[in-house]
Amino acid sequence: MGHYGFYDKSIVVDAGKVVANPTAIALGAATGVILASRPLLEPITVTRFGFQATVAFDYDTLVTEGVLSLYRYPLGNANNKVLLQTIRLVDATPIGSVCYADVPNPVVPATLVGGVITVSARNKADFDAGDVVAIWISTQAVGDTEVGDFQPYFCGHPRAEVADNQPLMVNLTP
C-alpha cells in the first residue's frame, strides 16, 4: 500500500519551542554575531522565531534599533544561506516578554536548466535533515547606553517527507 511521508513523534528532538541559545545575549551585541546555529536531524518547518527578554530593554536614547535575522543553510552550507525572516529588538521591551515574528513559507518553484530540474520545488522555510537553522544579529542595537539581555529561539514542527528526498537520513532498521 503506497503512502506519502513518514512521521514518528518518538524520534522528534526538541519539537515545538526550541531555545536556540540558552545563554542570554546583550542587547548591544555586535552585527554579524551568530547567536545560534543548529543542524537539524529531522525534516521540519520553521514557523516563527524571536527572543525572550531576560533583562528589560532600554536604549537610553535610541540611535539604531537592533535586528535579528533567521537563516536556513541548505545542507549546512552557510555560503548559500537563505534569509527567512527578521525581527526588531524594540526599545522598552519588558522582562519576560516573548517577542516573535511569523516565518512565511512560500513555495519556491523548481529551477530548470535546459528542461531538466536542477533544484526541486520546495517551501522556503522547510528544512531537510542536514540543513542548519541560524539566528544572526544583522543590525547592532545602538543607543547612548544599551541595557537589556535576551534569549533567541525558534519554533518549528516536524513535517512528513518521502525518505528518498532526505539523502542525509539513512535508515538502518534491521
How does pLDDT run across 128-148, given as a tens digit for each residue? 889 999 999 999 999 999 999
Pick the CATH number of 32-160 from 2.60.120, 3.40.630, 1.10.3470, 2.60.40: 2.60.120
Domain boundaries along the sequence of the chain: 32-160
- What is the Cα–Cα distance from 40 to 30, expressed in whole angstroms? 26
Does residue 31 surpass a pLDDT of 60? yes
Determine the residue type at 95: I
Predicted pLDDT at 126: 92
Q: Annotate 82-141 with DSSP letters as a single string.
A: EEEEEEEE-TTPPTT-EEEEE----EEPPEEETTEEEE--EETTEE-TT-EEEEEEEE--
Predicted pLDDT at 8: 45
- Residues 122 and 74 sit within 8 Å (Cβ to Cβ): no
172/94: higher pLDDT: 94
